[in-house]
Structures are given as structure tokens and as C-alpha cells.
């Protein structure tokens, strides 16, 4: 059984920066099997109830609820109602809401919860929180622009997506779960540490050294370690482990490779060490994780 990474939708070979559509489901069952993609994704419930696997657990969402799915996060969606149901889907590349990390390193802090499997921010914002906000109107306006396509509609859609993104960040900030960014020291640190974050993302299947990351950032090893902990609230090695486990999770649902090969592919010292770390972070073993998705798909097929 194979699962996949979804390809970016393209026009004339150029990837689309955003994609939006209404997802319609007839009856109960699997809407989408386990998959992942480079887009940040927002779901907004319209009719009936659905279930999504995301962030190590299952969550329900219904009319007026909003689901936030980070880029490259493994997820699957099931319909729980005999009547099926519908929900809005908005996908956008991270580049749509920032100008480029090389120009403004502090922006990676705003994006970090949407680029990694954060356990702090809630995955589903309920309808009773959203009902009195501008979010339902922004969703409606976005889809009207996409359906009617008036002059300049791509600009309007980008503005609506950015407004939704900004609302979410400020909502997290009010709840005390947002990464602090505004302080000049924080912004300077983010800019300095951007090469290290890119280094991990691009080479997580190779041996990684904190000393090399420090060199890329122009820092001593001790200063780099203090700065990394201050900014990300974890050590460099913990961050590397988190990224490697996320990549391993993708292989578990996108291939039939043995666990031993997956562990070796991402530099874990042994299969038993990989299994122990995976269980700590994902609350299940790698094989249980894979079988759970297979069981879900078989039951819905």
C-alpha cells in the first residue's frame, strides 16, 4: 500500500501559490488518505462533521470550525456523517505571506508554527470563537472572488489569505501561545539563525553538527547554543530530532520501506533508538502509526 506526497498544482508548469475549493463528500468514509504537501492548509467546516488526523491525534470539526494544517504535516480526513458534508479548503505556499527569509529573518518566527509540528497551538479553532470575528466573512469573500473572478481577483485572494493568517497569529498571541517576535533582539536573532534552520531542513538526512550550524551563523558554538535555546525554546539537537521524525513520518505513510531503512535514512543511530524517539513524540510506534493509517483506509475503502 502506497501513500503519497501531493504534487503542487501548476499552470503551464508554474506552481500555484494558492488553491481553494469546496470539498464535498457523499456519506461516511475517507475523504483523503494519509498525505502531505508543501502548502499550509486551512479547512473551514460548512456542513456536517468530519475527523482529521493531525499532530499525533484525531480532531473533529464541523460547521464554522477552522482547522490549521502546517506545511508538510501528515494528515488524513474522514467523513463521520451518513449525509456526507462539505468544508472549504484553502491552501497556500508560505511564500505568499512573507517576502523572503533572506530579507527579513524575523518572519520565520511568525511562520514557524505553520512549518513544524507544534504541540502548543490548537489544531482546531471552534465556531464559537470564530462566529463574532471577521473570519467567516473573509472565507466567504475569498471564495466569491475565486468563483466570480473579477478584475484583480488574485490580489484580493492573497489579501484575504494574509488577513486570515494575521488573525490566527494575533489569536495565538492573545492566548499566550505565539512566538515573541517584535523585540529587536528577537528579530536580530531570527535573522542570524536562519542559515542554521535552512541547514537542518536541507540536510536532515545527513550527519548534522551544531558546530557547523554555528559556523554558518557566524557564532561561537556556546553563543549559538544559548541563542538557539532562547529563540526556539529547544536545543539544536532536539530541533534536528523533531525535523527528522517529521520526515520519517512522511516516509512511513508515503512508502512501504522497512522501519530499519527509514531509521537509517535519517541518521538515527539504531532502529531501536528511532522507535523509542518516535514513540515519545508520536505516542505510538512507527509500525502502529503505519498500520493505523492502513486500517483507516481499508475500513473506508
Mean pLDDT of the 210-225 span: 93
Q: Which of 300, 298, 293 is nearest to 27 (CA)?
A: 300
Question: Please, are residues 19 and 39 in contact by the beta-carbon 8 Å criterion?
Answer: yes
Per-residue pLDDT band for 81 (boundaries 50, 70, 90) equals very high
Q: Is residue 38 very low, low, confident or very high in pLDDT (cuts 50, 70, 90)?
A: confident
**At 18, which helix (H) or strand (E)?**
strand 18-25
Residue 146 — pLDDT band, cuts 50, 70, 90? very high
The percent of residues in the chain predicted with pLDDT above 70, rounded, is 81
pLDDT band at 12 (very low <50, low <70, confident <90, very high): very low
pLDDT of amino acid 102: 42
Tell me the three state secondary structure of residue 296: helix
User: What is the structure's pLDDT at 2?
Assistant: 38
Structural domains of the chain in order of their starting residue, each with its CATH number: 4-175 (2.60.120.280), 184-300 (1.10.10.60)
Question: Which pLDDT belongs to residue 13?
Answer: 47
Strands (E), 194-293: none
Q: What is the pLDDT of residues 221-265, one digit of tens each?
A: 999 999 888 877 789 999 899 888 888 888 888 788 899 999 998
Greatest mean pLDDT among 15-24, 115-124, 182-191, 235-244 lies in 235-244
- Whole-angstrom distance, CA of residue 117 vs CA of residue 119: 6
SS (H, E, C) 98-120: CCCCCCCCCHHHHHHHHHCCCCC
- 207 backbone dihedrals φ, ψ, rounded to 5°: -60, 130
**Comparing 62-71, 216-225, 276-285, which segment has the lowest mean pLDDT?**
276-285
pLDDT, tens only, 102-127: 444 556 667 766 766 666 678 899 99
Q: What pLDDT does residue 101 have? A: 41
Does the pLDDT value for residue 203 go beyond 50?
yes
**Considering the chain, what is the average pLDDT of its residues?**
83
Which residues contact residue 113 at a Cβ distance below 8 angstroms, ignoring those fewer than 6 apart? Answer: 70, 120, 121, 172, 178, 179
Integer distance in angstroms from the first to the last C-alpha of the chain?
Answer: 13
> What are the pLDDT digits (tens) for 164-174?
998 998 998 88
Check whether 100 has a pLDDT greater than 60. no
Flag whether pLDDT at 142 surpasses 80: yes
Amino acid at each position: 500500500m502506497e501513500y503519497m506526497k501531493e504534487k503542487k498544482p501548476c499552470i503551464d508548469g508554474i506552481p500555484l501559490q494558492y488553491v481553494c475549493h469546496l470539498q464535498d463528500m457523499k456519506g461516511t468514509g475517507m475523504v483523503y488518505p494519509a498525505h502531505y504537501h508543501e502548502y499550509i492548509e486551512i479547512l473551514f467546516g460548512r456542513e456536517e462533521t468530519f475527523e482529521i488526523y493531525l499532530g499525533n491525534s484525531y480532531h473533529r470539526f464541523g460547521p464554522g470550525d477552522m482547522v490549521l494544517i502546517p506545511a508538510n504535516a501528515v494528515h488524513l480526513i474522514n467523513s463521520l456523517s451518513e449525509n456526507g458534508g462539505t468544508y472549504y479548503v484553502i491552501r497556500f505556499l508560505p511564500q505568499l505571506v512573507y517576502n523572503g527569509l533572506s530579507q527579513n529573518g524575523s518572519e520565520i518566527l511568525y511562520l514557524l508554527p505553520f512549518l513544524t509540528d507544534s504541540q502548543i497551538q490548537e489544531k482546531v479553532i471552534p465556531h464559537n470563537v470564530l462566529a463574532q470575528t471577521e473570519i467567516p466573512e473573509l472565507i466567504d469573500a475569498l471564495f466569491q472572488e475565486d468563483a466570480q473572478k473579477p478584475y484583480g481577483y488574485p490580489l484580493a485572494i492573497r489579501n484575504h489569505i494574509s488577513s486570515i493568517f494575521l488573525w490566527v497569529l494575533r489569536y495565538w498571541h492573545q492566548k499566550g501561545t505565539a512566538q515573541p517576535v517584535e523585540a529587536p533582539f528577537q528579530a536580530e536573532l531570527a535573522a542570524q539563525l536562519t542559515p542554521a534552520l535552512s541547514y537542518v531542513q536541507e540536510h536532515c538526512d545527513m550527519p548534522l553538527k551544531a558546530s557547523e550550524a554555528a559556523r554558518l551563523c557566524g557564532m561561537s558554538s556556546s553563543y549559538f547554543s544559548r541563542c538557539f535555546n532562547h529563540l526556539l525554546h529547544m536545543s539544536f539537537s532536539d530541533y534536528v530530532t523533531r525535523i527528522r521524525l517529521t520526515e520519517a513520518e512522511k516516509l512511513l505513510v508515503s512508502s512501504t520501506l522497512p522501519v530499519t531503512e527509514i531509521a537509517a535514512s535519517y541518521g538515527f543511530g539504531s532502529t531501536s533508538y528511532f522507535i523509542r524517539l518516535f514513540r515519545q513524540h508520536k505516542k505510538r510506534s512507527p509500525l502502529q502509526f503505519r498500520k493505523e493509517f492502513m486500517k483507516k483506509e481499508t475500513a473506508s475503502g
